[in-house]
């Protein structure tokens, strides 16, 4: 008969060690989970996501993004720090596996660089749709690198192909045994087609890394779904750590009202977005509206990117919301009637139109959205709608923080007379959703990543005071060590087992507990309580035996020491004597 005992850290338990890259040199203790956000990555920042977690000696890299605001090697996570922190000779030895949560560039853009330039050759996992969408996203980013004439850190088209060949696709809820100890599983995260939350487990130590997620369904994707898991650690994104959003319908009405006002006045609408995700959501909304209004005003997608991703959306309809799945038997909702391809020469065309252009948030250094913005911003008839979140340093961020009349960038002056509308649409969960997920999973510890420092501090307070869970938000380079649960298997002698079933033992123990004022009186009446000695011998399994057996084993005589409780009056008397 085996008895399972629960041993909790820090004294004897295993620990999770988490590393949000940029790492400080840290020796990795296999008995902890250690997490480090990599330089300018997910720690107290929304940029390149990359978190390395060490669980029971296994090291998992969650996401491998780029920061679109930087150029060259600086835009990648500081991978070298992984080697410095682990002392490993190369990345394949340092990292047990890489898991990518979704195909947005801030989560995947650094992957070809890590595999083909840095030489990581171990397993890489992502969901089927993420794998399908990734080459398009990466190829788009590669063009940005070429346009910006990066002097270092570029990867080639062939690098993307070679990297993607190494990717092992994941299905939802599929349990994957990475090696004999490490298990991973993907859960539906909403957010973007193929986005997943990742569960990782080594022995009894378990954690979830959410990546980006949405707790409410939108027009085309369902809400995040996860099992109630026993977790030592939850690492959650916290982009909207303080925001509670209005209902989706109200947000949609507001957006349509702004677009309607602009195009009916003959203006042009620029919607800078990432290729995958929100574009599909907003297109569905506009396509419906155009149909109702019977408008012929063109809606354009810039480049082939979004049209291409629409093809994948159609193919991977099983990953969308239930409503879409049901309706697509009649008509594929990604077959947009009013949407057509945009040519560069259309920029100066007269008349109203709507244009979806990448990248979102309008990067300063590159991207078609920047080119169009330069042309359209000076007219007050036009409208620019910005996504809910724009990284600091981007034009989007400048436009959102006060309405500048003029923007000066790298020698270019742009007069900004157009209307600015901030989209309340976001594929990220709001603070209510984050709190709901944390409460639902009830992990022993929470780490916040992918957020801004003051907002994270606010959310940490809420998690600790309202949910009573220790919560951290490490900066990049900062390593956090979390105690984990560990179960030990041990055998018991026959005599000990017999003693467990002996009613007398239970009675005598309960009497003893009452006498000592033990708080174990809540024990269920059906539970058999027994007292034994745990024997730990080198190279042997743990064993529980009775006291008599121990005395016999040690070849010793039994000694009995009796204690007599001292009455309070006698203690006082003894004090007086001194
Ligand atoms: Zn994302």
> Is the pLDDT confidence value at 139 over 70?
yes
Q: 3-state DSSP call for residue 165?
A: helix
pLDDT of residue 32: 55
CA of 556 to the centre of ligand 1 (A): 67
Strand partners, 385: 421
Kindly report whether the peptide bond that precedes residue 359 is cis, defined as omega within 30 degrees of 0: yes
User: What per-residue confidence (pLDDT) applies to 303?
Assistant: 65
Q: Measured in whole angstroms, how far is the alpha carbon of residue 76 from the centre of its chain?
A: 18
Which carries the bigger pLDDT value, residue 134 or residue 19?
134
The vertex-343 CA angle with 340 and 349, nearest 5°, equals 95
User: Which is the catalytic residue, given 139, 152, 158, 237?
Assistant: 237
Please determine, for residue 374, whether its predicted confidence score (pLDDT) is greater than 60.
Answer: yes
Peptide bond preceding 316: is omega within 30 degrees of 0, i.e. cis? no
Q: For residues 64 and 2, is the Cβ–Cβ distance under 8 A?
A: no
Q: Whole-model pTM? A: 0.74
Task: Identify which has the larger pLDDT, 11 or 514.
Answer: 514
d(CA 34, ligand 1 centre) in Å:
24
pLDDT band at 311 (very low <50, low <70, confident <90, very high): confident
Q: What tens digit of pLDDT does each residue of 231-268 get? A: 999 999 988 877 777 677 888 899 999 999 999 999 99
* Residue 549 designated active-site: no
Q: How far is the CA of 146 from the centre of ligand 1 (A)?
A: 24
Q: Which of 350, 488, 574 is nearest to 14 (CA)?
A: 488
What's the start-to-end Cα distance of the chain, in Å?
A: 55
Ligand 1 mean position, distance from CA 328 (Å): 25
The residue with greater pLDDT, 29 or 525, is 525
Residue 427 CA to ligand 1 centre (angstroms): 7
Most confident segment among 310-324, 456-470, 507-521: 456-470
Which of the residue ranges 74-83, 353-362, 460-469, 520-529 would you say has the lowest mean pLDDT? 520-529
Give 277 or 64, the one with higher predicted confidence. Answer: 64
- Quote the pLDDT of residue 339: 84
| Tokens describing residue 15 | 């620990």
State the distance from the centre of ligand 1 to the C-alpha of 127, rounded, in angstroms.
14
Between the CA of 504 and the centroid of ligand 1 the distance, in Å, is 62
Coil, helix or strand for 196? strand
Q: Using 50, 70 and 90 to split pLDDT, how confident is the model at 468?
A: very high
List of residues 6+ apart from 69 with CB closer than 8 A: 47, 75, 363, 364, 391, 392, 393, 394
**442 conformational bin, left if phi > 0, alpha if psi -120 to 50, beta if neither:** left
CA of 211 to the centre of ligand 1 (A): 7
CA of 45 to the centre of ligand 1 (A): 14
Q: ∠ CA 542-545-551 to the nearest 5 degrees?
A: 115
Q: Using a CB cutoff of 5 Å, list residues around ligand 1, an ion.
A: 104, 212
pLDDT of residue 107: 93
Q: How far apart are CA 509 and CA 500, in angstroms?
A: 11
Q: Mean of the pLDDT values across residues 297-311? A: 75
Please write the tens of the pLDDT for every residue from 5-58.
Answer: 222 122 223 334 444 432 222 333 334 566 655 543 454 455 678 888 998 889
pLDDT of 47: 63
Q: Compute the distance from residue 64 Cα to the ligand 1 centre, in Å.
A: 12
């Amino acid at each position: 008969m085996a008895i399972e005992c629960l041993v909790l850290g820090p004294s004897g338990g295993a620990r999770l060690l988490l590393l949000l890259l940029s790492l400080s040199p840290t020796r990795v203790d296999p008995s902890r989970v250690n997490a480090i956000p990599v330089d300018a990555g997910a720690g107290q920042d929304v940029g390149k996501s990359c978190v390395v977690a060490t669980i029971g000696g296994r090291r998992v890299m969650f996401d491998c993004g780029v920061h679109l605001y930087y150029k060259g090697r600086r835009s990648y996570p500081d991978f070298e720090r992984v080697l410095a922190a682990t002392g490993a000779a190369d990345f394949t030895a340092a990292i047990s596996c890489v898991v990518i949560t979704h195909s947005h560039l801030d989560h995947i853009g650094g992957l070809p660089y890590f595999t083909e330039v840095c030489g990581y050759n171990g397993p890489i996992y992502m969901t089927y749709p993420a794998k399908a969408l990734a080459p398009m996203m990466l190829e788009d980013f590669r063009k940005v690198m070429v346009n910006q004439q990066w002097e270092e850190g570029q990867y080639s088209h062939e690098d993307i192909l070679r990297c993607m060949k190494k990717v092992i696709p994941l299905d939802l809820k599929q349990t994957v045994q990475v090696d004999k100890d490490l298990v991973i599983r993907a859960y539906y995260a909403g957010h973007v087609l193929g986005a997943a939350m990742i569960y990782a487990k080594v022995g009894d130590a378990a954690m979830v890394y959410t990546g980006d997620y949405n707790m409410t369904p939108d027009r085309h994707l369902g809400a995040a779904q996860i099992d109630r898991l026993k977790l030592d650690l939850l690492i959650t994104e916290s982009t909207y750590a303080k925001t509670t959003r209005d209902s989706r319908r109200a947000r949609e009405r507001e957006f349509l009202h702004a677009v309607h006002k602009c195009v009916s006045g003959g203006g042009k609408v620029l919607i800078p977005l990432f290729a995958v995700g929100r574009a599909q959501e907003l297109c569905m909304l506009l396509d419906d509206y155009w149909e109702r209004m019977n408008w012929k005003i063109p809606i354009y997608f810039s480049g082939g990117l979004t049209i291409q991703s629409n093809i994948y959306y159609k193919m991977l309809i099983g990953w969308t919301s239930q409503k879409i799945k049901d309706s697509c038997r009649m008509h594929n909702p990604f077959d947009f009637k009013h949407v057509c391809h945009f040519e560069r020469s259309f920029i100066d065309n007269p008349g109203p139109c709507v244009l979806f252009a990448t990248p979102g948030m309008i990067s300063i250094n590159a991207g078609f959205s920047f080119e169009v913005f330069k042309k359209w911003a000076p007219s007050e008839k036009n409208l620019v709608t910005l996504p809910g979140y724009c990284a600091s340093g981007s034009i989007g961020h400048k436009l959102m923080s006060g309405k500048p009349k003029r923007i000066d960038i790298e020698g270019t002056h742009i007069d900004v007379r157009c209307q600015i509308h901030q989209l309340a649409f976001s594929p990220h969960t709001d603070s209510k959703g984050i709190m709901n997920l944390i409460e639902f999973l009830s992990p022993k510890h929470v780490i916040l990543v992918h957020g801004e420092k003051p907002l994270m501090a606010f959310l940490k307070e809420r998690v600790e005071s309202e949910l009573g869970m220790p919560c951290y938000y490490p900066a990049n380079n900062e390593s956090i060590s979390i105690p984990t649960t560990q179960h030990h298997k041990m055998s018991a002698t026959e005599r000990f087992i017999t003693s467990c079933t002996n009613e007398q033992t239970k009675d005598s123990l309960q009497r003893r507990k009452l006498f000592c004022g033990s708080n174990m009186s809540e024990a269920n009446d059906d539970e058999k309580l027994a007292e034994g000695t745990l024997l730990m011998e080198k190279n042997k399994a743990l064993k529980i035996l009775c006291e008599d057996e121990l005395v016999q084993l040690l070849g010793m005589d039994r000694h009995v020491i009796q204690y007599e409780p001292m009455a309070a009056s006698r203690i006082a008397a003894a004090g007086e004597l001194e």
